[in-house]
């Protein structure tokens, strides 16, 4: 009875990620739908991505890469480290139909992130996913399979802001501080405020305001500095629509 060589492992129903280094081919066998989840950061457990923790020279034939080649090309024989590099840098070996499905899924994911973070300037309402996808087509945005959805969504937002098609949704925050700090604090905060929803000076100074998300750090520092750390603020909403007046009385 012939035994199967230990350097051969038969795998089925896999998606292969391939990386070529120094003229040699290295492959890993992954679960379908997990590679993109890993690359966009939603899946962080390597064991959930790999069907088997090993590096192959040919997955379909079950031929395992030898340690000499691994050391020569990766300067290590640590299988997990090598798998991570292949997973991050390699190319997905999939059919045209699967590639289209993966592409459409990534487009939708990017559009969803854009929609959650932005306001449609035509309606001054939250951007819809369908509108975000349409705008991506209008600017001929080229989706990169190896980049995370979040990273690409930020690129889309920047390009659409440049064309004045959208703007980042404001962050709604609540500020509270002892009344003695109110006037100076209000003066310092004016430059960051996009809208005021409410203000109350009974007892302590309290205000609910909208700011650009990019000003979060500055507002945090300002509140701490102007109130000797006696004041504080909390985030009420990460994506708010402006309806108030830009004015602190």
Q: Is the pLDDT of residue 186 over 90?
A: no
- Which domains, ranges and CATH numbers included, belong to the chain? 15-93 (3.30.1250.10), 96-167 (1.10.10.900), 170-240 (3.30.70.240)
pLDDT band at 245 (very low <50, low <70, confident <90, very high): very low
Q: Is the pLDDT of residue 88 over 80?
A: yes
State the average pLDDT for the chain. Answer: 84
Write the pLDDT tens digit of every residue in 26-77.
999 998 778 878 887 888 999 999 999 999 999 988 899 999 999 999 999 9
Mean pLDDT of 88-108: 83
Mean pLDDT of 142-168: 87
Q: Is the pLDDT of residue 145 over 90?
A: no
So what's the pLDDT on residue 117?
A: 85
Write the pLDDT tens digit of every residue in 106-118.
899 999 999 988 8
So what's the pLDDT on residue 244?
A: 45
Q: What is the pTM of this model?
A: 0.53
Q: Is the pLDDT of residue 181 over 80?
A: yes
Question: Are the C-beta atoms of 175 and 190 separated by less than 8 Å?
Answer: no
Mean pLDDT of 116-131: 85
* Cα distance between residue 167 and residue 144, in whole Å: 23
pLDDT band at 137 (very low <50, low <70, confident <90, very high): very high
């Amino acid at each position: 009875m012939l035994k199967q060589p230990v350097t051969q492992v038969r795998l089925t129903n896999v998606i292969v990620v391939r990386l070529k280094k120094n003229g040699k081919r290295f492959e890993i066998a992954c679960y379908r739908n997990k590679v993109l989840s890993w690359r966009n950061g939603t899946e962080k457990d390597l064991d959930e991505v790999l069907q088997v923790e090993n590096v192959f020279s040919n997955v379909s034939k079950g031929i395992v890469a030898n340690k000499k080649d691994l050391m020569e090309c990766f300067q290590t024989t640590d299988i997990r480290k090598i798998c991570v590099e292949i997973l991050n840098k390699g190319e997905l070996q999939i059919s045209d139909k699967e590639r289209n499905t993966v592409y459409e899924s990534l487009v939708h994911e990017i559009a969803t992130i854009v929609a959650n973070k932005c306001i449609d300037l035509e309606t001054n309402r939250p951007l819809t996913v369908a509108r975000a996808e349409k705008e991506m087509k209008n600017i001929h945005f080229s989706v990169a399979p190896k980049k995370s959805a979040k990273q690409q969504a930020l690129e889309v937002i920047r390009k659409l802001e440049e064309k004045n098609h959208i703007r980042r949704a404001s962050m709604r925050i609540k500020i509270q501080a002892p009344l003695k700090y109110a006037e100076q604090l209000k003066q310092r905060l004016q430059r960051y405020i996009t809208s005021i929803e409410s203000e109350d000076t009974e007892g302590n100074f309290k205000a609910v305001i909208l700011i650009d998300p990019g000003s979060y750090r500055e507002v945090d520092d300002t509140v701490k500095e102007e109130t000797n750390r006696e004041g504080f603020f909390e985030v009420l909403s990460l994506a708010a629509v402006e309806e108030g007046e830009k004015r602190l009385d």
